[in-house]
Structure 1
Amino acid sequence: MGEEKPKKKKKKAGKRGNNEGTIYERSDGRWTAQVITGYDNLGKPKRKTVYGKGRQEVAEKLKTLLHEIQTGSYVQPTKVIFGDWLLKWLKAYKEPNVKPETYVDYIDLANKHILPRLGDIPLQSIDSITIQEFYNYKGKFGRLDGKPGGLSPRRLHMMHQLINGALMKAVKGRMIRFNPADDIELPSIEHEEFQTFSIDEVNQYLEALQQDRLYALFLLELTTGLRRGEILGIPRDKFNPNKDEIEIVQTLKRKKLDGEEKSQLIFSTPKTKKSKRKIPLLPEVIKQIIKFQATQRQERLFFGPKYRDCGLLFTSEVGTPIEPRNLNRKHYSILQKAELKHIRVHDLRHTVASLLLDDGVNPSNVSDILGHTKTSTTLDIYGHSSTHGKERAIARLGDLLKSAR
């Protein structure tokens, strides 16, 4: 007969206190307790076990655990890493709600910047200091084009939108107790410096354009403040001379899509919901657009089969969309011809906004014309006063003081 095996030490159950669950001593001398923390999709209970050197230690741990369960602050342990969760969040919550090119930008930002440094950290282990140090590093050394320096504050804020958004959703889904990105400090975004034309310079600019094929386009720009992509993407049927208005429903831009080596012209929805808008037109603008359409009809006859009608209001001579960079070239050639200072095409939009606000137009109306979501955005960008505007304000104050005497 073989040697009789020693009997295992019987578990010693301790007296259960109020709301403690069952606490007992294991055969190895440690004390333990187990409690049901929830149920999976199939109704199978999920259990959490706590351990301690003594009964009192386990009782304290169990008390804390039960309190978390009862108050809804308990989170189930998970092995999910932050990178996997971020990509899953982007796919589920961002892809259906943003423009395709915006989603591509988000994925590119995640793959190139966020995942290499934060991706492998367990979701339940990522903390505030790690995220703060990540932003600090990217702000100093984050460029990936081989040039020294860091990412811009605007780029850092965009990354924070993704990281913070994913962590907020993890809190709501009870995957983590709190959002470690809540108290992060980021550099403030300074609005870009831009130049504008005075009203005299606007007239000088238009004078130099008088005989140009695209005079109507630039006149429309300088009376509406449209974004470059908006004015290039206007469908022909959205110009309504009978109602003296034009409707913005899409934009045109050149962009490199995910996985593509070369960029391509793409149509996209406007920047925001408020960017989809109808804008009233001046009679002279309507007249010049109709004149331009007559030119297009002549071009169609001249080029015959080579003419490619893309259905846009403003086109090249052969009916194709106007390349954004070609519009830039045309703009700079006009600046040179008119001997005006160097400003960008987008600064024509800034010019319209600044002239309207300086003339006392209601900021809410200016915001609607520009397609801003909030009037505060308009004031934040254009709230500064021009020298001319300040001079007029002081002169107006002088008139008021004279009338009071």
Structure 2
Amino acid sequence: MARTKYKKKVKNGNTYYFYRLNHKNLKRPRDLYGKTVQELKDKIEALTYQLDRNVKSSKVLFGDYLKTWLDSVHSVNKKAGTIAHYNSIYDNYIKGSILFDIRLSELSALDVQDYLNALLAQGKSYGIANSVKKIISPCIRYAYTQQRILTDFSRSVKIQKPNDTEEPSKVNPMTKDEQERFIKAIAGTSYEVLFLTALYTGARLGELLALTWNDIDFTHCEIKISKTLEYQKDKTTNKFTHKVVAPKTVTSNRTIPYPEFLTPYLKKTHTKLLEDKLRLQNRFEDHNLVFSNRFGGYLHGPAIRTNMEEILDKANLPHFRFHDLRHTYATRLFEMGEQPKTIQTILGHNNISTTLNVYTHVLKELTIKTAYKMNKLNTEFQIKNE
């Protein structure tokens, strides 16, 4: 057996090879152990490599480090809804995961890649896997700048984005026939005016649920969008509550027109609100909301979506999300020849490319119709010249 310079030492009843490492970046010598000489050499080499590059050694677990970074660094100056989204991703996909218990200093690109691949293999969507990656990657970059890890491997982690054949389009507008049947189906129901307003303004659900009567201009038939309603978890009480917050982007602050036929519907809703307020008195929550429950309080998004699904089922209509009412509105505008820039402004998109990318399906149909029109024009020319 070859001789070795490393001494043997008994620890917890087991025999290990032992080495005491001295280094200028260590306040005191570090004792290292290995079951074999090669294992000990690898540990000496890895630690020396870190110390030579002034990387701070720590036993902190990646999950703990990420949570501290999330609360103290990444969430600073972020909107409450964004912070709630970060915490949701952490609670559901980092906490308790295989990544959580890996030491920060030992985490590798392969660990992260394997975990993201496993999420997709379990049937999680590309969006979820990408959201997990979006909080892990900047955390890795931060740890590297703070000399907690040797390399910034964040950009080497990839997620395979599904192509169009693997993932159906998220844009699912109603056809004109489906829209007409839906309008008939919602007549007289609890959320009729809410559904109609969404269909004919393109406003998001959160924006509509945060509307107050001060935002409605009956004279000019306009609605001012300056806030949105979110359902957030209070970090102190751990209870969920409704909160009115500023829109996510600057362009979401906008004034949008509504068709005049909606005015009687809205005014009837206002009259009903005043009657409820008078009848309930002290039990009425006076938030001055356009769309509220019978006590004047905020409406709950899931309840509205459930009601919509029930209406669609009864009317034998396909499944549509509430957000598809917004897509339906935009699709009708494109079909009627409205300019993309105008549609972008009404919808509150950041830039025109977003609008054009979202409604590619509509534009494709319009280009086909344009070719048909040009063919028709050519036929007219030929008839005149015969």
Task: Within 5 Å, give how 1:215-226 maps onto structure 2.
Answer: 215-226=192-203
1:3-402 matches, within 5 Å, as 74-79=53-58, 81-114=61-94, 116-140=97-121, 149-176=122-149, 178-188=151-161, 190=167, 192-212=169-189, 214-254=191-231, 257=234, 263-332=240-309, 334-335=311-312, 340-385=317-362, 389=366, 392-402=369-379
Task: Report deviation, 1:178.
Answer: 3.8
Query: How far has the Cα of 1:124 moved from its partner?
Result: 4.0
* Alignment check: 8 A CA contact 2:81 2:230 kept: no
Q: Which residue identity is paired with 1:78?
A: S
* C-alpha deviation, 1:386, in angstroms: 7.9
Moved more, 261-270 or 92-101: 261-270
- Closer, same or farther: CA 177–198 of 1 in aligned 2, 3 Å: same
CA distance in 1, matches of 2:65, 2:169: 34
Distance 1:308 1:160, change over 3 A: same
Q: Normalising to structure 1: TM-score of the pair? A: 0.69
Q: Aligned to 1:246, what secondary structure does the other structure show?
A: strand
CA contact 2:232–2:242 (8 Å) conserved in 1: yes
Letter in 2 for 1:139: L
Deviation by residue 1:142-183 (Cα, 9 ceiling, x = unmatched): xxxxxxx34221111011111111122234445445421212
User: Percent of aligned positions with the same letter in both sequences?
Assistant: 26
> Helix, strand or coil for the counterpart of 1:348?
helix
Tell me the secondary structure at the aligned position of residue 296 of structure 2: coil
Matches of 1:33 and 1:260, distance apart in 2: 48
CA distance in 2, matches of 1:258, 1:385: 43
Shift of 1:90: 0.9
**Residue in 1 aligned with 2:3?**
none
- Per the TM alignment, residue 313 of structure 1 is displaced from its structure 2 partner at its CA by 1.2
3-state DSSP of counterpart to 1:279: strand
2:56–2:147: 8 Å Cα contact kept in structure 1? Answer: no
- Structure 2 residue matching 1:252: 3-state secondary structure: strand
- Alpha-carbon offset, residue 263 of structure 1: 4.5
Q: CA separation of 1:159/1:387 partners in 2, compared to 1, >3 Å: closer, same or farther?
A: closer
Measured in 1, the distance between the counterparts of 2:183 and 2:284 equals 29
Q: Distance in 1 between matches of 2:299 and 2:101?
A: 45
AA partner of residue 398 (structure 1): N
- Aligned partners of 1:236, 1:302: CA distance in 2, in Å? 19
User: Could you tell me how far apart the structure 1 residues matched to 2:244 and 2:207 are?
Assistant: 10
For the structure 1 residues 402 and 89, does the alpha-carbon distance in structure 2 shift closer, same or farther, using more than 3 Å as the test? farther
Secondary structure at the aligned position of 1:369 is classed as: helix
Partner AA of 1:369 in structure 2: I
Deviation of 1:199 after TM superposition, in Å, equals 2.7
1:128 counterpart letter in structure 2: A
Distance 1:75 1:198, change over 3 A: same
User: Which whole-Å deviations, capped at 9, do the CAs of 1:244-302 have from their partners, x for residues lacking one?
Assistant: 32222332344555586764444344343332322223322334322321232233334
CA distance in 2 between partners of 1:395 and 1:269 (Å): 45
SS at match of 1:117: coil
5+ unaligned residues in a row in structure 2: which ranges?
1-21, 29-44
Q: More displaced, 237-246 or 130-139?
A: 237-246
Q: Which amino acid aligns with 2:226?
A: V
SS in 2 for 1:196: coil
Amino acid at match of 1:133: D
Matched positions, count = 340
Q: CA RMSD in A?
A: 3.9
| 1:186 Cα offset (Å) | 0.5
Q: Distance in 1 between matches of 2:323 and 2:169?
A: 12
Decide whether aligned partners of structure 1 residues 46 and 279 sit closer, same or farther in structure 2, where only a CA change above 3 A counts.
farther
Kept in 1, the 8 Å contact 2:225–2:252? The answer is yes
Q: Could you tell me whether the CA contact under 8 Å between 2:171 and 2:359 is conserved in 1? A: no
The structure having more radius of gyration, on CA atoms, is: 1
Structure 1 residue identity aligned to 2:348: G
Alpha-carbon distance, 1:240 to partner: 2.6
Structure-2 separation of matches of 1:83 and 1:331: 40
Shift of 1:383: 1.2
